[in-house]
Amino acid sequence: MLQAIGLTSTPRPDLPPLVDDLTFEARPGCVTALLGEPGSGKTTALRLMLELEPGRGVTYFRGRPLHRIPHPSREVGVLLGDVPGNPSRTVRNQLRMLCAASGVPASRADTLLEVVGIAGLRDHRLGSLSLGMERRVALAAALLADPCTLLLDEPTAGISPREAAWLHGLLRGHASLGGAVLFTTADAKEAARSADRVVSIESGRLVADQDAADFARTRLRPRVAVRTPHAARLADVLGREARAAQRAVEIVEESGSRLSVYGSNCAEVGEAAFRNGVLVHQLADETGDCGAPAPPVPQARTEAGTAAAPDTVPGEAPEGGPRYARPERPASTVRRVGGPLRPLRYELCRVFGTATPVLTAALVVAASALTALVLARTGHAPQGRLLAAWPEVLPLPPAALGAGLLGALAFGEEYRYPALAADRGTVPRRMGLLASKLGVAAVLALLLGALAVVADAAVLNLLFGAGALGSPSEWVSPAASWAGLLIGCAWAGVLASGAFRSAAAGLAAVLAVPVMVVPLVGKALHGPSPYATSELVARLRGLTRAQWPPEADRLVLGALRVMAQPVGTALVLSLMVLLCAYGFTGLRSRVRS
């Protein structure tokens, strides 16, 4: 059950809050519509429930607020705005990435594609889909982890009546298995036709909380639905009798054989048809635009990874299949894939689901090789700067900028697409996700740096011969310095994008290190130091009983030399500040009254 209690958005200057003390519930086994005019606060109410909007109040999902649920995607399926994913990602890659985030097998993506009827579009990119197909992908994403509750914001906006009927049929199937469904709409007829309960709001306040039948009777216009092969003749008869009796009756011809009669009842219409010898096939009282019943759709729940039969009746089962009851929520049949590697699976799917890493690597290698050629041609550049393609006029080499860019993109999708942000989970869950992002960003940064160095060396040897670089006398310490610079830039991008919820902010933080922080650190470290770095390495070796190999001494010495330089010190300080900022903004505990 979903219980929203006292939802109130943050007040606006000189304006009332968009949502003001809103309290209602969505029961299991039922479809609930949140009805309101555009601007009435429906979307803000959903964002408050998902803790994506600052405000007061609390929402309980089966007795727990969202930030207390270890894996929110297994409890709540969300559809907010457009399809939740990068437009350049394919449908299958998007769903498999979400499978990894939710801890379900990757095969669940193919199962849901069959359920929503778009298996043939699995290799299409999200940006190429029509609006109706986008809604199907978004529903598949919301149903991946077999959640108990579905929250959907204007799910039928802009799609055809046929697609809307299909969508509501799928929501009805989810509710018939004991799930709770809440969707927003501005169409009162849609709410009466598709929901079991209608919650009406106006200016962010609760107006009414009614059963769909009571809502239709009190808020919608009743009518008589008539089907006859002589619709034009019956309409003429009813019009003449109404004028003769001086009654206000409105007759609407909706199709060749269907009439809607407003201001009358079944008895009057039936008697008029009988007196005039008009054949009638259907005669029924309706309220609002009830329309045709929704066609049956496959159930979202699966057994052993196979979709239920399309003609399965809620509460019954196909031959040889499981049997479900309503409104009790049955145990989930979706196998869970847990463990510490789950966030790593998600991060790998996220990174390699698009061509961004490959394009970034290609651009970095090209820029690095070109810069190294210019440095070698002009001369007066040491070997290290040639291989790193790092002129003194640039704040960072191309490889470091590329590593920072990939790091800045690490948290972009989680905050651009609310369906992913809803899977933030508890603090341990988010710490595991952060560790995975830092680890993958570090590996990508090292690979990018290695590619740049190899490309620079190959181009220089090709154009200027083997003597252009010579044989390095010491390579361990410069390699450690190079790796530390790349990893530091990548981590700065990751932490900044997570703390400020923006990829642009992450890249700005990477650029701010050499442009703003390094000059300040350089002034603070100006002047000789009475302490030698090599002595610190000897003291560190003395703290351990095991004998260090000489290579380890050089690695530690290289790392310490990086930290002793203004760039290294600035990176370390920036990482510490960004880590604190991320902990304050992303990992702080929420205290509810």
What does each of the 593 residues of the chain score in pLDDT, given as a tens digit? 899 999 999 887 888 889 999 999 999 999 999 999 999 999 999 999 988 888 999 999 999 998 888 788 888 988 887 666 788 889 999 899 888 888 888 899 999 999 999 999 999 998 898 888 988 998 998 898 899 999 999 999 888 889 999 999 999 999 999 999 999 999 988 998 899 999 999 999 999 999 988 888 777 778 888 999 999 899 999 999 988 888 888 888 877 788 888 888 899 999 999 999 999 999 988 765 544 444 444 444 444 333 333 333 333 333 333 333 444 565 566 777 666 677 888 888 888 888 889 999 999 999 999 998 888 888 767 777 888 888 877 878 899 999 999 998 887 666 666 555 544 555 666 777 888 888 999 999 999 999 999 998 888 888 877 655 666 666 777 787 788 888 888 888 888 888 887 788 888 888 877 666 656 655 555 555 555 555 555 655 665 656 666 666 666 666 655 555 555 666 666 777 777 777 766 555 443 33
| C-alpha span between 118 and 262 (Å, rounded) | 40
Closest by CA position to 468, among listed 391, 375, 370:
375
Query: What six digits make up the tokens of 401?
Result: 């900028």
233 Cβ contact partners less than 8 Å away, ≥ 6 residues apart: 276, 278
Yes or no: say if 71 and 429 are a contact pair by the CB < 8 Å rule.
Answer: yes
Query: What six digits make up the tokens of 552?
Result: 């380890």
| C-alpha span between 318 and 313 (Å, rounded) | 8
Cα distances (angstroms) measured from residue 102 to each of 66, 71, 173, 391, 553: 15, 7, 22, 45, 43
Three-state secondary structure string covering 202-221: ECCEEEEEEEHHHHHHHHCC
Beta bridge partners of 464: none
pLDDT digits (tens, 9 = 90+) for 173-226: 999 999 999 999 999 889 988 999 999 999 999 999 999 888 887 777 788 889
pLDDT digits (tens, 9 = 90+) for 304-320: 333 333 333 333 333 33
Domains in the chain and their CATH numbers? 2-218 (3.40.50.300), 221-287 (3.30.70.1360), 342-586 (no CATH)
DSSP letters spanning 57-115: EEEEETTB-GGG-S-GGGTEEEE-SS-SS-TTSBHHHHHHHHHHHHT--THHHHHHHHH
| C-alpha span between 525 and 541 (Å, rounded) | 26
pLDDT value at position 422?
45
387 Cβ contact partners less than 8 Å away, ≥ 6 residues apart: 372, 453, 456, 457, 469
Yes or no: say if 99 and 108 are a contact pair by the CB < 8 Å rule.
Answer: yes
CA 220, 223, 229 angle in degrees (round to 5)?
Answer: 145
Yes or no: say if 197 and 169 are a contact pair by the CB < 8 Å rule.
Answer: no
CA trace torsion 262, 267, 269, 271 (10° rounding): -160
Against a cut of 0.85, is the pTM above it?
Answer: no
Q: Would the CA dihedral through 359, 361, 365, 367 be positive or negative?
A: positive
Query: What six digits make up the tokens of 367?
Result: 């820029």
Q: What 8-state DSSP symbol labels residue 515?
A: I
| C-alpha span between 90 and 398 (Å, rounded) | 29
Yes or no: say if 151 and 79 are a contact pair by the CB < 8 Å rule.
Answer: yes
Yes or no: say if 455 and 463 are a contact pair by the CB < 8 Å rule.
Answer: no
Work out the angle between the directed axes of helices 550-564 and 533-543 (0-180°, nearest 10): 130
Distance of CA 87 to the CA centre of its chain: 12
